[in-house]
């Protein structure tokens, strides 16, 4: 099961402190209903985090049109939830239309079907992929350059991987690919934490990006491209500057004893130069991303935390329940 962690660039309001007693309210933050048997918590959590991502919410609002699929249109049903978030007077709204659209869209694959629980990170990723298809249906997923495609303009990490042999200098052909969620194994992450504790003085949360990179490449050894006999690590290089970076933590078992270790490793800042072996984009080299959202899974249930930039507060979303929370991870 996955945890998702979202980072985005510091926005205009992010540093502004909340004034107690001011007229600033947490609206529009509303819950999403999850009736018994619906098992929609995975979808509700993904939608809440998307809504709270200022960059995503504003970009979606500004889009002029899309390739519509009518009754089973994920784009339309997401947009309709967003409109209701903004204008409805209800405290909690149904997410049924989006649930139906998702079930209809993935009918053949038997995924995200009505009444069944599913994975929130994969749901989040699939919603983004669908948005790409609704906006730029003719464009290849891995080579989408459409300026209006929120998915690829804001979320996609354009990477290439290559192995370079330190012993004989041979290198493999660079293999380009695109990622919307950067998945990291929690087992590998905790192994890196243990190795790092012996070697480094820096607190682990400050080395979060490095730990993630090490966890991603550790154990992934390839043969030297010229077969000199060396086993070498793969290098991943980031070529663009994504505005939102999503990390998906992969748990090897449903009941993991690594939860506490993983939480202690989370940093509130993420440096892209640390996350990847190399970064070619000048903007990306300098960017310091801030944690703004999390989707968590425990006891067969998903909930979400998101940073509400207008009030500089963290908000907890558990289906229909919405609460303002104090979160120990510091965002400044
Ligand atoms: Zn539509
Ligand atoms: Zn696209
Ligand atoms: Zn070699």
12: helix, coil or strand? coil
Concerning whether 269 is annotated as a catalytic residue, the answer is no
What is the distance between the alpha carbons of residues 101 and 110, in angstroms, rounded to a whole number? 13
Which of 41, 76, 190, 216 is an active site residue? 41
pLDDT given at position 20: 38
Model confidence at 328, in pLDDT bands (50, 70, 90)?
low
pLDDT at 60: 93
189-209: b (≥16 Cβ within 10 Å) or e:
bbbbbeebeeeeeeebeebbb
Q: Is 172 helix (H, G, I), strand (E, B) or coil?
A: coil
Active-site entry in 190, 301, 308, 330: 301
Asked if pLDDT for residue 200 goes beyond 90, the answer is no
HSE-up (13 A, CA, CB side) for residue 148: 13
- The number of the ligand nearest the C-alpha atom of 138 reads 2
**SS3 label, residue 301:** strand
Beta strand 321-325 pairing with 313-318: antiparallel
In the residue annotation, 301 being an active-site residue is answered as yes
pLDDT value for 7: 63
User: From ligand 2's centre to the CA of 156, what distance in Å?
Assistant: 9
Ion ligand 1 nearby residues (CB, 5 A): 68, 73, 75-76
Q: Cα(101) to centroid of ligand 1, in Å?
A: 10
pLDDT-derived band at 13, boundaries 50, 70, 90:
very low
How does pLDDT run across 296-315, given as a tens digit for each residue? 988 889 999 998 888 888 99
Confidence of residue 24 (pLDDT cuts 50, 70, 90): very low
Q: Is residue 1 classed as helix, strand or coil in its secondary structure?
A: coil
Task: Please report which ligand is nearest the Cα atom of 148.
Answer: 2
pLDDT of residue 197: 64
Which pTM does this prediction carry? Answer: 0.88
Higher pLDDT residue, 18 or 283? 283
| pLDDT digits 0-9 by tens, 142-166 | 789 999 999 999 999 999 999 999 8
Q: Tell me: pLDDT of 78 over 80.
A: yes
């Amino acid at each position: 099961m996955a945890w998702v962690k979202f980072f985005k660039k510091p926005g205009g309001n992010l540093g502004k402190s909340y004034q107690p007693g001011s007229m600033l309210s947490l609206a529009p933050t509303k819950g999403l209903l999850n009736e018994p048997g619906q098992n929609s918590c995975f979808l509700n959590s993904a939608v809440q985090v998307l809504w709270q991502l200022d960059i995503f919410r504003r970009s979606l609002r500004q889009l002029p049109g899309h390739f519509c699929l009518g009754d089973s249109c994920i784009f339309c049903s997401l947009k309709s939830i967003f409109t209701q978030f903004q204008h409805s007077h209800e405290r909690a709204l149904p997410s049924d239309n989006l649930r139906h659209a998702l079930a209809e869209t993935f009918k053949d694959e038997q995924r995200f079907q009505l009444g069944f629980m599913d994975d929130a990170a994969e749901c989040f990723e699939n919603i983004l992929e669908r948005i790409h298809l609704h906006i730029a249906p003719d464009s290849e997923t891995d080579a989408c350059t459409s300026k209006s495609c929120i998915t690829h303009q804001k979320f996609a990490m354009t990477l290439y991987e290559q192995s370079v042999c330190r012993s004989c200098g041979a290198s493999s052909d660079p293999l380009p690919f695109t990622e919307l969620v950067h998945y990291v194994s929690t087992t590998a992450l905790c192994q890196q934490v243990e190795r790092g504790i012996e070697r480094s003085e820096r607190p682990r949360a400050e080395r979060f990006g490095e730990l993630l990179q090490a966890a991603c490449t550790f154990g992934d050894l390839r043969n030297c491209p010229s077969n000199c006999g060396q086993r070498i690590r793969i290098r991943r290089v980031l070529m663009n500057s994504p505005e939102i970076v999503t990390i998906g933590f992969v748990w090897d078992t449903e009941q993991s004893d690594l939860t506490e270790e993983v939480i202690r490793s989370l940093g509130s800042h993420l440096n892209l130069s640390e996350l990847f072996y190399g970064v070619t984009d000048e903007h990306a080299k300098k960017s310091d991303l801030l944690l703004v959202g999390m989707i968590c899974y425990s006891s067969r249930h998903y909930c979400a935390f998101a940073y509400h930039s207008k009030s500089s507060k963290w908000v907890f979303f558990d289906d229909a329940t919405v609460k303002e929370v104090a979160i120990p991870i510091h965002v400044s």
